[in-house]
Amino acid sequence: MWNRLFYFLELLLLLPILPVLYDQGKKVRNKISKLTAHSNFLVFKSDIEESSILILGESTVAGVGASSPSHTISHHVFNQLKNKHSVYNLGKNGLRAENLKRLLLHGKPDIPNEINTAVLMVGANDCFKFTPPGKFNKHILEFVLFIRKVKGVGKIILFPIPPVHQFPSLPKIIRFFLGWHRRILTKELRSLEKKIPELEFENIEESYPPEYFAKDGIHPSDLGYKLLAVEISKKVAI
């Protein structure tokens, strides 16, 4: 209830300045570099295969900002886990929570019918679109129940929403409201974790140095992807 009120207050503050935010956002879109996605779909198969891992989500999973496929999240995770786990990577730039199911259904057929662990990386685009918290909660919950049913996933890791409030390319006023909405959606992820035993969520709040970001000032750099993979590998290994 309090989170919905927090969202309502956000809307009250947003409405009067929406034209300004729209104008600034348009200028940013025209100015920033458009980077290549290096890992819309990647597979790293293990000869040992202690377990299978599916990493699914938005542009970070798609490898936007990385310099090559070898610097993307899934490649790092595969190496950091010493090639003992098969890693399947399915990402789409611009993805929102409501499209997770569609991405999986229309994704590559090489993803096996049984997955041990799923890592969901989503939320940045829902912040940019100011998705209502109730809808975000509903979309994540529906997908979690769906992937448990169709892939038999035993462990689902909800990765923290990207630090949209720290993106260097964005004006301060936009970062302020994105940070506000990120907090709202993060509370929804926390509430979902309490409801579903298979879900794991732990938010990460820290300041990221400039070198964490790619040249567009939005997506992770090679260093950023390596650091993200370290966090994922820790959670998968537990």
Question: Residue 50: its pLDDT value, please?
Answer: 78
Average pLDDT estimate for 58-67? 97
Instruction: Let me know if 148 is exposed, middle or buried by CB neighbors in 10 A (0-12, 13-18, 19+).
Output: middle
Give the model's pLDDT for residue 25. 81
Between 215 and 106, where is the model more confident? 215
Global confidence as pTM: 0.94
Backbone angles phi, psi at 167, to 5 degrees: -60, 115
Per-residue model confidence as pLDDT tens digits over 107-147: 777 889 899 999 999 999 999 999 999 999 999 999 999 99
Please give the pLDDT value at position 150.
92
Q: How many domains is the chain built from?
A: 1
Beta strands across the sheet bearing 41-44:
41-44, 85-91, 51-57, 117-121, 155-158, 199-201
% residues pLDDT > 70 (the chain): 100
Contacts 24+ apart (CB under 8 A), 111-116: 111/54, 111/151, 112/52, 112/88, 113/150, 113/151, 113/152, 114/52, 114/151, 114/152, 115/52, 115/53, 115/54, 115/88, 115/147, 115/151, 115/152, 115/153, 116/51, 116/52, 116/53, 116/153, 116/154, 116/155
Q: Which residues make Cβ contacts (< 8 Å) with residue 204, sequence separation at least 6?
A: 160, 231
Averaged over 162-182, what is the pLDDT?
A: 95
CATH number of the domain at 128, please. 3.40.50.1110
- Rounded distance, CA 20 to CA 133, Å? 24
Q: How far apart are CA 98 and CA 168, in angstroms?
A: 27
Range scoring the smallest mean pLDDT among 12-26, 32-46, 79-93, 94-108: 12-26
Range of the domain at 24: 2-237
Separation of alpha carbons 55 and 76, rounded Å: 12
pLDDT > 80? residue 49: no
Reported as a pLDDT band with limits 50, 70 and 90, residue 208 is very high
Q: Which pLDDT score is estimated for 205?
A: 78
Torsion of the alpha carbons at 202, 203, 205 and 206, rounded to the nearest 10: 60
Question: What pLDDT is recorded for position 32?
Answer: 85
Question: When comparing pLDDT for 48 and 190, which is higher?
Answer: 190
Enclosing H/E stretch for 113: none
Q: Which two tokens stand for residue 70?
A: 């070898």
